[in-house]
Amino acid sequence: MALYSEKVMDHFRNPRNVGVLEDANGIGEVGNAKCGDIMKMYLKIEDDIVKDVKFETFGCGSAIASSSMATELIKGKPVSEARQLTNKAVAEALDGLPDYKMHCSVLAQEAIESALKDYESRQEKKEEK
Ligand code: FES
């Protein structure tokens, strides 16, 4: 059996939603100290819906494929659904990752969580004003 599924290879070679979102209102950046990979997630949320999402990943192929798939899974979805995205769901949508690469999907989950936290704190600040 090939080490990586066709879906992993596809999202690695043709990652969806790569880049910077200039008008993002939620930005999260996370890293894994062991492998040194870094992932940055940009969210544009309107009316509680993830209208747009982009990412920049400095990392391994599985991290790139995981970020790409994660963006596809939350794009157009309500914030409440995006919040529930797990690394397992990302890995499953990719038809699996090798055990020692599961942490790459964790990075995608954490990047989205971090961007959502940033969005929420911006909202709170707006309300305070
Ligand atoms: Fe660390 Fe892939 S090897 S995120």
Task: For 93-129, write each residue's pLDDT tens digit.
Answer: 999 999 999 999 999 999 999 999 999 999 998 888 7
Say if residue 36's pLDDT is above 60. Answer: yes
In a 10 Å sphere around its CB, with 0-12 CB exposed, 13-18 middle and 19+ buried, how is residue 35 labelled?
A: middle
Nearest CA to 74 among 101, 44, 103?
44
- Under DSSP, the state recorded for 106 is H
Q: What is the distance between the alpha carbons of residues 75 and 42, in angstroms, rounded to a whole number?
A: 11
Q: What distance in angstroms lies between residue 37's CA and the mean position of ligand 1's atoms?
A: 6
Close Cβ partners of 97 (under 8 Å, ≥ 6 residues apart): 4, 8, 62, 66, 91, 104, 105
pLDDT at 128: 84
Nearest CA to 87 among 79, 78, 99?
99
Could you tell me the pLDDT band of residue 1, with boundaries at 50, 70 and 90? low
- Annotated catalytic residue: which of 9, 18, 27, 35? 35
Task: For 64-100, write each residue's pLDDT tens digit.
Answer: 999 999 999 999 999 999 999 999 999 999 999 999 9
> Is 104 a residue of the active site?
yes
Phi and psi torsions of 50, nearest 5°: -80, 95
CATH of segment(s) 6-128: 3.90.1010.10
Q: What is the distance between the alpha carbons of residues 46 and 17, in angstroms, rounded to a whole number?
A: 18
Close Cβ partners of 102 (under 8 Å, ≥ 6 residues apart): 87, 91
Whether 62 lines ligand 1, by a CB cut-off of 6 Å, is yes
- The domain locations on the chain are 6-128
> Is 35 a residue of the active site?
yes
Token pair for residue 100?
Answer: 């020692």
